[in-house]
Structure formats: C-alpha cells, structure tokens
Structure 1
Amino acid sequence: FVRLALPASALRTEGVAAVATVYNYEPGEVTVRLELTLPAGLNVTGDRVRTVTVPGNSAQSTTYMLGCNAVGLHPLRLTGQTLASVGLADAVQRMLRVRPEGIERVLSYSKLMDVTAGAPASLSIPLQLPKDTVADSAHATVSITGDLMGAPLSGLEGLLRQPFGCGEQTMITLAPNVYALRYTSATGTATAEFTERATRNIRSGYVRELRYRHGDGSFSAFGERDDSGSSWLTAFVLKVFAEASEFAFIDPAVLTAAAGFLADTQKSGGAFPKVGTVCHDEMMGGAAGADGERAMTAFVGIALTEALDVLPAGAQKDRVRTAVQSAASYLVKGPTGPLQAGPAVYTACVRAYALQLMAKRGLATPAEAAAALDVVKAAATDDGGLANWNTDAAAGGSAKARATPECLGCGGHWRRPMSTSIEATAYATLALVQAGDMGLAYSAAKWLVSQQSETGAFRSTQDTIVGLQALAEYGAAIAAAKPTVAVVIEDGAGTTQQVQVDAGTWNVLQTREVAPTGTVAVSATGTGKVIALTTLKYNVPRDPEPPIFNLTTGCVFEGADRSRARCRFCTSLAPGQGSLTGQVMMELGLFTGYAFDTASISSLLANTRLKRIDQDQGKTQVYVDYLKGGEELCIVYDIIQQLVTQNLQPVPHLVYEYYSPDRKGAAMGHVADTYEGAGLAKALGEPGAHVGPVGGGWGLTGSASGAAPCGWLLGLVCMACLLQLR
C-alpha cells in the first residue's frame, strides 16, 4: 500500500516536502508506478509520475517538493500501481492547508434583535479591511440563531482560544458545560448526543482539576507546586463542582474538604480574606481594605451557599451554614448610596447576587437582599437601551457597549469594556433574575450578547464563565416562545441570502459567508428574538495595536543541513505599562516542517518563574507566574526538522496577560538565512530561561568581529552577515 506524509499546514510561498512511501509485503521485488495529482493551487518540482522499485517485505520512499501558491485547503491524491501481471494497486488522498502569512485579526459584533409583528428589526455594519491586509486572508460571515446560547452551545470545547493548563483555566472545560446542560434541560432542547458530550467534558474537567488539590482540601493554580491553597480558587472550584454534581459524580468528600478549608479562613466578623494567590486580582477591587475583602466574601459566600444544596448532612454542613449566615451579616453592611464608576461597582454586583442566593435559602432576609439590589440598579449605565455596570473609573461613565459600531476593521471604533465590567454586568443579571426583575435583566442580557466573540466567549476565562451562567439562567427563566423570523442578509457585493428561524431551526447556528468589504445589512421580519453575529477575519504583517509587551525573537540553524535550529525569545513590559503583571502566557510559533525539541523545552522549567509548558497544535504555551516592569524574560530552546521546507516564512509569536488578554504583544519570528557554523547558536546561549534587567547584557548584545554594537537580535543578523562575507 501507499502512504503520503505531509506537514499539518504550510504558509503561502513555502516549498514543503510530501514523502510518498510504498510498502511491499510480498516476498518478491515489485516495481510501482506512482502518480501524484495536485490542484491548481499547488505545483511540484520534478515529475508527478515516478517509478519506484521496492524489494520484498520492505518499503521505499520518494519525496515530492510542493510549491504552495494559493491559500486554501488543497486535496492531494497519490496512486500506486504495479505491472498488470502483478495486479496490485492502492490510492490515498490527503489534505494540505495553505495559510496566509502574517498575524490573524478576528473582529466580531453580536446583536440581539427583537422582532415584533409589523415592526421589523434591522442592522447595518460596514466592513473595512486595513490597507496592509494580507492578500486572500480576509473572510467574513454572518451567523443567525434564535437561541440565546446558540454560539457557545455550537462549540463548547472551543469557547476560548486560550490554553487551560492550570487550576483555574482547567475549569473552562467544566463550568460552561454545566450551564449549557442546565439551560438545555430547562428549555427542553437537550439531545442525547449533546448531553453525552457535555457530561464527558464535565468528567474530564473534574479529573483534571483534582491534580491541583492540596492535602487540606484546597486548590491552587499549580497544585503542590504552590506554597499553599488559594481561597479564591477553592471557592471557584467548590461552586462549579457543586453545580456539576447534578450531572456527574463529584466525590462528596472533595466538596466537604473544600468547604471546610474556606470556613477555616473566615474572620470573626464574617469576612473571608485573601488566602494564598488570588489569580483573578481584579476581583479584589483594585484597592486594599474593605472593598476588596467584601468582594472576596461575596464570592466565597456564593460558593458555600450553593454547596449547601449538595453537602451531606452532618456537623460540617452545619458549620458551613453558620459561616454563610455570618458572611451575610458582613455583606449587608456594604454601601447604600450612589456608586461612582469603578471597582466598587463590581463589589456591589457580586454582593447583590450573593445576598439574593442567601435570601432564597433563608440565610439572609429578603429586605437585605432587595436593598443590595437597589444599590446595583441605581449604578446601572444605559447605552442605547442596553444596561451595563462599568468598573473602569478611567472611562468616566459607560462601559461602551457596541450598540452602534462605526465599522468592523477600521480600528479604534469602539472602546472595549474591561473584563470586570462584563463580569459585573453578568453578576447583576444573575441577581436580577433571582429577584424576578426580568425587564432590566433583558436589557443587561442584550448588552452581554453584544460583548461575545464569534465563539460565544467573552474576554477571559472568568468573565466567560460568569457571562454564560447569566445568559443561561436568564434564557431558562424566560422560557421564551420559539421565534418565527425571516432574516435577509445583503453584503457589500450585493449578494442576498435568506435564513429562516422557526420552531425547527431556532436553536441552530446558521452561518452565511459574506463579502469581507462593504456594508452588511441584516433585516428581520416576523415575531421573536434572534441574534445576528457578524465576524471579520484577516491577516496583517504586524500587530497594529500598541504593544503592552516588547518582544524580540529569532532562530539560527546549527548545521548546514538545517536539521536543527536554536531559538531565543525575549519579552518585557513596555515602558509605562505598570510594575507587575498577573499570569503571563508566552505562545511560541513553530516553523513549517519543524517540531519543538522536548528536552530543551523541558529545561525551561528549571526557572521557578515558569510554572508549566503545554504543546498543542503547532504551538508551545509557556505559563509565566508574573513579570515585573524593568525586567526581561528570555528563553532559549531548540527546534528539530521533521520534513524539509524551502523558503521558510516567519511565524507569529505572542505574549499576553491571561486575565487581561488585550494586554499583549506580538512579533514575527524569523530564521537567520545562514548556517555556516555552530558559533551563532552558541551565541544565543544554552537552552533554558533567564530573568534579568532589560538590556542587562544576557547573551548576544555586543559587537562581532569589529562590527558596531547592536541589540541581540540585530547582533545575530550582523554576525550572520559577517560569516557570509568570510
């Protein structure tokens, strides 16, 4: 039989090796005629038809060098046939995805359209591509659904592009599935296939999360690698595990131990202080003292209140009940007057939701819960009929929902709200649903929908989880009648497409491709509510946003055969971007035909600042505990050639704060066009990680053979040129 080995993907203009192998299991030698059939977007160097002689019980290979000329998914077919007298034949088809060069940008806008008989709804969104858009990279779609949870339900496993390799991030594999199952059960839309898939995700997330459990029942981001458990993460895990126990087995001993750990941390006045590392620092209100501690108390109180529904009867459950009552007494002492935009708004929203839950279980009075909710209602901001709660004092008012976007792609056309503004609005929505105020809850739900990405996620792990819970509980509470809506989509090229949303299709995400330039007009007639999601994707040569992180990156071949390269990646906070980050993610791109050297990647963990390394889909993700202003983190690692690639193209590298992913930096990584000796690779240092002052001189920073001094990356190029001149 025949086999065709290809890289997972390639970049346009690269030449990649396609290795055709013929396996002969007959005892005698056979001669095989191979023919490679290609689409128009690919070309081959040399003959497409070749003859291979294969000895008995062995294999023989031949390599086709393919030129990647066009972006797209290209089918390749390899056929092998012996002489007619032998009568053996085989064929195989493989797909090669050719990607455009550059850095991908994804922009989206979502709107909840309320259609009533005789009053159609409409939406108009101009799409504009930047002048430096990479050719053939633009792609635009409009998706329509009558289901408030349509986008996230269509791809639960892919809600976030971000990795989930530590304790909190792992919960993204679990929590959205819980809320999805609750929602589909309440709306009667759960199917056997969906239920099985979501339940499987819950089980796998539960097992994975137990890796980060401490002996005292607490949890932390990296488990026993951390000095102690985290009260914030333990509360988060307890809440989600308690909710998940409705759908899958959760060991009651795990719940009891986590609740006991939290109860042990409570102060005599009822407050829950920060214990251990708080991954989600924004919830501390950006300020020390009562405001941050009140937010923490509300968060822990929510978890313990929900845990009471599933904890086994006994002394520990009674102790938890007493702790919740004490927390309620502390929370009711919160602010009663008007709130200014800022961290206090977040605290008020999470406090209101906590007291609503407690009041429903007799652990706080209805009057206390109502008073806390009144404070939240008074702090709401109205953006064109969309209610939201702004946590950004610098914004001076609205969190700026995308009610009327100027366009997608023209840059700077809206101010995206802080992640905590989304989270605060979600908590407010949850509190309103608990209180039965569905009018204001609907306005807030519309705002939340407008903040979703094309996958249904929001900006980070935490606001996605709380936001989806809010939309799911609102959608389940209203149990709205199924829409009957006819949608017409007209794009900038004048193409018109229709989408019908009715009782048979209301919970299906129906997607139509549209021209990526010009104005997209969406009109809807009939009765009911539908969501219209417009997404524009394109590539640019470089990230147009001002970088929060500075990056320098480059690789050098170690030998003339290019079988191995050594790479160096350095990052630091840009000037004026603060003195300390939260958890930082470094995403290392990978050149076509190469794989990361496992030993060199593993060596990075010798530096305790680096907590974990994951490899997935051609990228390596490095978890960095934090980064200080004025310091630079550099890592050195090796990559190994697996398939020959010609005309290697640069690949993007990315650094961002996990909990504020818009705080990022991006750069294109290159391989130096020289391979005259190992000296260049030695200049980059041995594999490992190093933290030092910015410009502190670690590695290649000086001159080479009389050349003028230059930075390490420029120095690498300078040295390469000098070697070539020799």
Structure 2
Amino acid sequence: MPSSAVKGIQFLVMFPCSCPAKSWRDLAEPLSLLSLSGDITGSVSQNLDQLLQMPVGCGEQNMVKFVPNILVLQYLEKIKQVTPKIKQQALEHMQSGYQRQLLYKHDNGSYSAFGKRDAEGNIWLTAFVARAFGQVRAYIYIDDQPVKDAVDWLGQNQLPSGCFRSVGKLFNNQLKGGVDDELSLTAYITASVLELHLDEKAAMVEKALGRLKKASHDVDSAYTQALMAYVFALAKDTEMRQQLLEKLDEKFLKPGTDESMTGSSLLVETMAYILLAHLSQPEVTASDITKFSPILHQLNQRCNSFGGFYSTQDTVVGLQALIKYAGLTYREAGNTKVMVRSKEALLLEFHVDGKNQLVLQQAPLLGIPGVYTVQVAGSGCVYVQTTLSYNVPAHKSEAVFVLHVETAPVEGNDAARKHFDHQVAVSYTGDRGSSNMALIEVKMLSGFIPVKSLVKALKKIPIVKRTEVDPEKVTIYLEELDKTLQNFTVSVEQEIEVQHLKPATVHVYDYYQPGDHATAEYNAPCSSGWVRNSVSEANCSVSKLPETWTRSC
C-alpha cells in the first residue's frame, strides 16, 4: 500500500462467558500476548525447537523436531533470507533428528513408533520417514541405504490391486473407516514416493495411481479426497486434481468448515492438502491466491503461538502448505509501522523493515478484556497474532477419560514423608472404542523426584511403550486405552524438604486429540490436603465428574 496510507483493523479480546472474573483477575502475569512478524513463517523460524508443547519421545513424534527444519530452510534459501544462526540451528536439529530416527528402524527397513519394541514396522511412518530422509539429503549427509530399504519395504507391501497393505498400528484412529482406510494409505505412500523422484519406482507409482483414479468417484471422506488431489497434483494429472478439488472447494472455500472435523488435527491436514494441491498446479496466478485464501485464513486460525498445530502429522503438513504459500507470495518488506491502540491510548508500537522482517516481535497486551485497533502505516505486509491464556471452570459434558489418583500409604508417617507411591487408574470411555496413543503425565510435588528404576519397570506392562523421567514429571506413553481400567504405580522420593506443599497434578490425554483429557490433583500422604479423582470431558481445559474426594492423611 502507499507509504502515506494508514489502515486499521479492530479486534476484540474477551474471555468466554463461562470464565468468571475471579479466574483471571487474580493472576499476576499478563494473560494476552501480541506477536508480530513481517513474514508468515516468523513464529516458525523462531520456535523450531518447540513447535509443539507436547512430548516427542517416539519415532513419529520425533519427526516434528526434524521435518519443519527442512521446510523452513528451503523457504529461507528461496527468498535469500537465511541467517547463520537459523541455518546452524536447523542443521543441528536435522542431524540429531536423523540420528534419533534411526533408533526406530527395524531390520527389514521399516520404522515404527517405538522401534523394535513394536512387533512390526508401521507402513505410514515408514513412508513419512523415507520422504523426510530424501528431502534432508540436500543439507546433511545421510546414508542412501535407509531410504532404499524403506521404499523397497513399501513396495513389498503393495497388493496386486495397486493399493498397499496396512501394516502396523495407525497413528490416529480418526483415519480408520471403510474403504477410505485403504485409499488414504495408498495415497499417502504414493505422495511420499512421488516426492522422492525415484525413477526406478515408476511402475509401483503408476500401479497405485491407477487404483486411486479408479476409486476416486466413490470417495466420500474430505480428508482422502484432499490427499488424493495432492497426489494427482504431484503426478501432474491436472484433470484428476481438478475433479477432486471441485468437490472440496464447495466445502472449504466458503465460510464454515466440515463440522465433523472442526478443531481436529484431521481438519488441519485436510485443509493443508487442499492448499498444497492448489499451489502445486503448473502456474499459480494472483486470482488463484485470492480464491483459496479462506483456507489459509482457517489454517492460520488454528496455529498455536509457536507456529505448530495440534499434533505431529498436522503440524508437518500444515507447515508444508503455509511455507509453500509463503514462497509464492513473498516480497521484501518495506518500512512499516504498526500501532496497537485501545479506546483510551496507544498501547504498543512496532516497526518492520527488511532488517527485522523475519524477527518475531512480542509484547503483552494490557487492559484485557477490551476492544483494540491495529493500525498499519507504510508499505509491506505484517502478520499479527494474539494469544490469550485463561482459566476455565469445570463443567459437565460427555466423559472421555476416567482418572483416579491415590497416594500410598494413606496414613502419614515418617517413612511416607520420604517416599510414597502414586496409584493411578485410568480408562477411556469415549465413543471411539479406544483412544489413540495416550500419555499420562505425573507432575512432581516440590522437593520430590521420581524413583527412576521403578518408573523404568513400568515398561513391562504390555500397553506401556515408553517412559520418560525428568526432575519435574514422569511421562508414560500408552499404546491406547479402552474401557478396561489400567493401573500404574509411580514411586517418588524426597530430595529436599519443603514446607506447606501445594498440590500437583496427574494428566492423561489423547496425543492426537488433546481436547480429550483428564486431570486430577494429589498431595503427599502427610500433607493436610486431599486427593481428587476426576473425569475429563472432550473440549474442556479442566474437567471432572461430581467430585469424589479421598482423604490423604
């Protein structure tokens, strides 16, 4: 816009009606943070090591610490904005991510979430790893053999029909269901092999494309349609790509979304594949960019404050789409001034130019709740995001997890002051039959640390795939949970004596649908507190059943 122009956008920062004033007025720290960058990748490039505030301790989650570095570096090289610091950080993450991923490799070339602790490789993860290894070769040295072994193993699991046989447990059980299981798997693997540009695998690809083309008219799932559209875009089959996008554009290029997937990682993936399919056509015009900007807007709305999304797969695919868009629309920053005003005064002022275009600028937004105006003067483009943190009260809805926590021994004595056990019982009560991979996080009371040897022993339980111990919490990775109540014991010992202990929490959640969770509080057996058993509900930050209280001393 002309340098003399001033444009303003008004926005409202409010707490939901269910949040009482007391729950936010008593907090000392700022609750709202305004972030600004001159580039759509600003938050990503500044947070490559923490795109997700979730554990990344298995072979699929490790990829979120690995792949985004490749995407960001590709983009920054394209726009000639790579800084030595960002490049060094990205290369270090690539090297460590590559080495760590090899720990999850099976002897036959496949990969699984927990490596040889799993009975067999996982065909989804193997395709994901092969594609990433192929991309990272441009930046670090890797052995060609793992890529060859992985793709050969994928080929061994291709059926005469052209589809691929499902091997290993799916990451996310939202992807299950009818014929779309087989087709989405085939499309995913085909996209991975196409992105590797392996001429020797042309026959395998053609066979898969033939099957997908034949089945395309019978697909109802928006996710599978979007993934197939991207596959045909990679294969340069313009006719098939357009046929599939016409169905999807009716749903996603207008206000509203597919309500069956609202707020989920699957919705992010679906929109990202639609955007990638549009952006992968031979020529993208300015009118094309305008046409599918609603999808970009919906993706940006679902970004977290670090540039990631809900979980692993959607973060990688979502970033791939956003970065491809950014590469097509990038222009060097001019000289832009951004002012944030309340009704009463000028609160914040930022300046964006070519020197700090990729810098993520942040400042607390004071005076919330309230109405604010962002005014922009100068020339260029800026991306502004507000992050609001608040407490919400418990409320009843459909239960997803049941979580019971007790400390033992129940009676306080001298021994219990030094050492006690958490007895955790958990089950899944949602409508899917079983959860996805679930994680239990046991936060430590002040002055206590986990007994590492006893936590490690939990891996003898069949559904426990991994445990992690740090001074502040224990994380237990569970393959899945169903309606069967599962029991775990986490032992702790006192390291430093602390007076007037405050309660700590035990948290269980579905890794791929974090809104499905439960939280329970506990205190030491010799404290004058209580242990709360709680049940969580979907889409509620803090949740419980009518309280059941157990006296802890």
Shorter chain as denominator, the TM-score bin is 0.7 to 0.9
Which protein has the bigger strand share?
A: 1
Letter in 2 for 1:331: L
**Which shifted more, 643-652 or 431-440?**
431-440
Amino acid at match of 2:277: A
Q: Normalized against structure 1, the TM-score is what?
A: 0.68
Alignment of 1:573 onto 2:463: no
- In terms of fraction of residues, the more helix-rich structure is 2
Residue 640 of structure 1 is matched in structure 2 by 493
Q: Aligned partners of 1:493, 1:546: CA distance in 2, in Å? A: 43
2:364 is aligned to 513
The correspondence of residues 197-276 of structure 1 with structure 2, limited to 5 A, is 197-276=89-168
TM-score scaled by length of structure 2? 0.88
Amino acid at match of 2:272: A
- Gaps in structure 2 of 5+ consecutive residues: 529-547
Superposed CA offset, 1:541-579 (max 9, x none): 8688865212222324674161212221222224x5442
- Taking a change above 3 Å as real, the CA distance of residues 429 and 287 of structure 1, as seen in their structure-2 partners, is same
In the other structure, the counterpart of 1:104 is: none
CA contact (8 A) 2:406 2:522 kept: yes
1:130 match:
20
Separation (CA, whole Å) in 2 of partners of 1:524 and 1:628: 51
Name the residue aligned to 1:6. none
**Partner of 2:177 in structure 1?**
287
Question: Any idea what SS the aligned residue of 1:645 has?
Answer: coil
Q: Which has the larger radius of gyration?
A: 1
Distance 2:419 2:474 in 1: 17
- 2:209 corresponds to which residue? 328
The correspondence for 2:444, drawn from 571, 590, 603, is 590
Q: Matches of 1:491 and 1:554 in 2, distance apart?
A: 48
Counterpart among 518, 524, 536 of residue 388 in structure 2 = 536
Letter matched to residue 247 of structure 2:
V
Q: What aligned pairs does 1:450-465 form with structure 2 within 5 A after superposition?
A: 450-465=301-316
Residue 27 of structure 2 aligns with an amino acid whose one-letter code is: D
1:287-686 paired onto structure 2 within 5 Å: 287-289=177-179, 291-308=180-197, 318=200, 320-336=201-217, 344-359=221-236, 365-383=237-255, 390=258, 392-393=259-260, 399=262, 417-435=263-281, 436=284, 437-491=288-342, 494=345, 496-515=347-366, 517-526=368-377, 527-539=379-391, 548-556=400-408, 559-560=413-414, 562-574=417-429, 576-616=430-470, 618-629=472-483, 631-673=484-526
| AA of the residue aligned to 1:660 | Q
Deviations 1:213-260 (A, max 9, x none): 111100011111111111111011111111111111221100000000
The offset of 1:117, in angstroms, is: 7.0
Distance of 1:295 and 1:116 partners within structure 2? 49
Task: Note if contact 1:138-1:539 (Cα within 8 Å) is conserved in structure 2.
Answer: no
Offset of residue 470 of structure 1: 0.6
Q: Alpha carbons of 1:150 and 1:632: their partners in 2 closer, same or farther (altered >3 Å)?
A: same
CA distance in 1, matches of 2:370, 2:473: 36
Letter aligned with residue 302 of structure 1: A
In structure 2, do the counterparts of structure 1 residues 541 and 652 end up closer, same or farther at CA, with 3 Å as the change threshold?
farther
Letter in 2 for 1:532: V
Amino acid corresponding to residue 354 of structure 1 in structure 2 = V
SS of match in other structure, 2:11: strand
Where does residue 28 of structure 1 map in the other structure?
none
Q: Residue 715 of structure 1: CA displacement?
A: 5.7
Distance 1:628 1:253 in 2: 39
Residue type matched to 2:449 in 1? A
Displacement of 1:434 after TM fit? Answer: 0.6
Corresponding letter in the other structure for 2:226: C
Q: Which amino acid aligns with 1:427?
A: Y
Cα contact 1:346–1:421 (8 A) shared by 2:
yes
State the AA in 2 paired with 1:659: Y
Q: Distance in 1 between matches of 2:41 and 2:232?
A: 26
Assess, with a 3 A threshold, how the Cα gap between structure 1 residues 177 and 115 changes in structure 2: closer, same or farther.
farther
Shift of residue 492 of structure 1? 7.8
Give the 3 Å change call, closer, same or farther, for CA 366–161 of structure 1 in structure 2: same
Instruction: Tell whether the 8 Å contact from 2:332 to 2:354 is kept in structure 1 after alignment.
Output: no
Q: Is the CA contact (8 Å cut-off) linking 1:218 and 1:261 kept in structure 2?
A: yes
Contact 2:162 2:210 in 1 (8 A): yes
The whole-number CA distance in structure 2 between the counterparts of 1:429 and 1:198 is 25
Structure 1 window deviating more from structure 2 (537-546 vs 422-431): it is 537-546
Superposed CA deviations along residues 286-337 of structure 1, whole A, max 9, x for unmatched, are 4222x221111110001111122xx5xxxxx52x211111111122224459
Residues 481 and 192 from structure 1, CA distance in 2 versus in 1: closer, same or farther, beyond 3 angstroms? Answer: closer
CA RMSD of aligned residues (A): 2.7
Give the Cα–Cα distance (whole angstroms) in 1 for the partners of residues 141 and 248 of structure 2.
36
**Structure 1 residue 501: Cα displacement:** 1.8
Is the CA contact 1:229–1:276 (under 8 Å) kept in the aligned structure 2?
yes
User: Is the partner of 1:228 in helix, strand or coil?
Assistant: coil
* Number of equivalenced pairs: 522
**Structure 1 residue ranges without an equivalent (≥5):** 1-113, 312-316, 360-364, 400-416, 676-712, 721-726
Distance 2:395 2:367 in 1: 19
Deviation at 1:672, TM superposition (A): 2.9
Q: What is aligned with 1:36?
A: none
Cα drift, residue 354 of structure 1: 0.9
Aligned partners of 1:123 and 1:287: how far apart in 2? 43
- Matching residue of 1:159: 51
